[in-house]
Amino acid sequence: MRLFLLSLACAVAGAASASAPLGSIDDFVAIELPRSGAPGLVYAIVEDGDIQAAARGAIPTVAGAAGTADTPFLLGSISKSFTALAVMQLVEGGEVALDAGIATYLPVFADRASGAITVRQLLSHTSGFSTRQGNNTHIDLTDREDELSRHVDRIAQWSLASDPGLKWEYSNANYQVLGALIETVSGRDFASYLEAEILAPIGMADSFVADGARHESMALAHRPWFGAKRVMDAGVTHRVIAPAGGVIASAADVARYLAVMMNGEDDVVSAQSKAAMMRPASAVAPFYGFGWFIDAETQAVFHTGVSPGMDTLAILLPAEQRGAVVLVNAGGGFGFGETSDLLSGTGDRALGLAPAESGPGWSRKGLFVMFALLPIFFGLSLIWASFHREGLRAKSGLAGTFSLWFPVVATLALAWVVVDLIPRLFGVSIITLQRFQPDLVLVMLAAAVTGVMLALARIAMAYSGTKGPLRLS
């Protein structure tokens, strides 16, 4: 969900620009949690290595138990920083070179334009793969252990959206390729490598990596549904998304991870490698390092995660040794039931930062309401037309032909906007968008279908010889 991620990232970066006295986190959550429609959230604060974590609202698990501050959440794209950390381990071990082409390690890319993409470009989203390509993820339905490598074999067949190194474009494909790189070089599957080399050494005891199995200890996910939230069938993890969004962790464990990233010590990787991850990767990516967004002005480092039914945020201020994690067990709606203010506002208060200003989102609300009302409008128009079909038959000449056929063109254009243009603005297909925003997709498709039906029905009425009003049943 590119637009949500980037807008939230900008809000977080702007929030880090100043400090100000704030109300308590609990006071803020008590107001914003019901407004967002999310059942609950967990947050953790780390300062000079000390960690505090708390849960607010309802945190049901997949098993149906009441969750706690130690309940693991699907982190979404925060997982990319873990993948980047694993790559830096291999770089330090001399097994991977940042500026080597990916074909050096994955022969499936040999003799292809994408084979020249460097490891550095994959880490910094400057490879040439697009957002939409990266969201075209093959879902692991076979539960095969080689599902990630099989998907990366497919990625190798793709044409690049742009030449490597020319532009920054966020793409999950970059980190899926890096996951396959880790598997090939280490000789271990991705989940096993991360759990043994990163999670265990940091002490992330309540965390694991997507492995294709069902995990009932996970927080239950909730998707937006007309301003409220609806439980989604969750708990099944997919290997293919693991490097880009499949680390599952508790808030306290993520805080431990942030503490390690800020401690300035040589441990899971050297302090030098940690610093390299949290500074701009290149002039093409001035606001992104290796797995982290960066506010170059304030040196705030952060990442959001957007998964079906889950929204997450991790933000750290390395110079001040402070960080915060916010995990919400619901996906943000479009205009209604949005979670971005809940995420960023909780993070701001956890770090004592001035909250970013956010508007009421009237444009998004208006767009949602418009699509919701269009099917009603089209339905009423069809009923009206059925009782005025003689007027439709009476239309003649160029003007009459235009008045009859223009609605067909207009409603087909609306269908194209719904099925292709709007999902493209999100960087996804309509099918993927439905997994994140089922209510929005429902009203959009209803508007598109009823619009085309109305236009075609008007044509049929105009050329029909049937007398009397159209019988609708």
pLDDT tens per residue, range 94-128: 999 999 999 999 999 998 989 999 999 999 999 99
Question: Could you tell me the pLDDT band of residue 91, with boundaries at 50, 70 and 90?
Answer: very high
Residues 6+ apart with CB under 8 A from 23: 349
Alpha carbon distance 425, 452 (integer Å): 23
Contacts of 80 (CB under 8 A, 6+ apart): 175, 243, 244, 245, 291, 303
| pTM exceeds 0.85 for this model | yes
Q: How many whole angstroms separate alpha carbon 157 and alpha carbon 90?
A: 26
Q: Residue 42: enclosing H or E segment and its boundaries?
A: strand 40-47
Helix (H) or strand (E) holding 162: none
pLDDT in tens, 323-336: 999 999 999 999 89
Q: Compute φ and ψ for 52, nearest 5 degrees.
A: -125, 135
- Cα separation of 274 and 260, whole Å? 9
Residue 457 has pLDDT above 70, yes or no: yes
51 Cβ partners below 8 Å, 6+ apart? 44, 45, 252, 255, 256, 259
The full set of domains in the chain, from first to last, is 2-351 (3.40.710.10), 362-463 (no CATH)
* 239-250 residue pLDDT tens: 999 999 999 999
Task: Of 155-164, 445-454, 456-465, give the lowest mean pLDDT range.
Answer: 456-465
CA-CA distance, 261 to 269, in Å (whole number)? Answer: 9
Condensed to tens digits (0 to 9), the pLDDT of residues 188-197 reads 999 999 999 9
d(CA 74, CA 244): 11
Q: Is the pLDDT of residue 141 over 80?
A: no
Residue 394 identity (one-letter amino acid): A
Length of the chain: 473
Residue with tokens 């979404």: 76
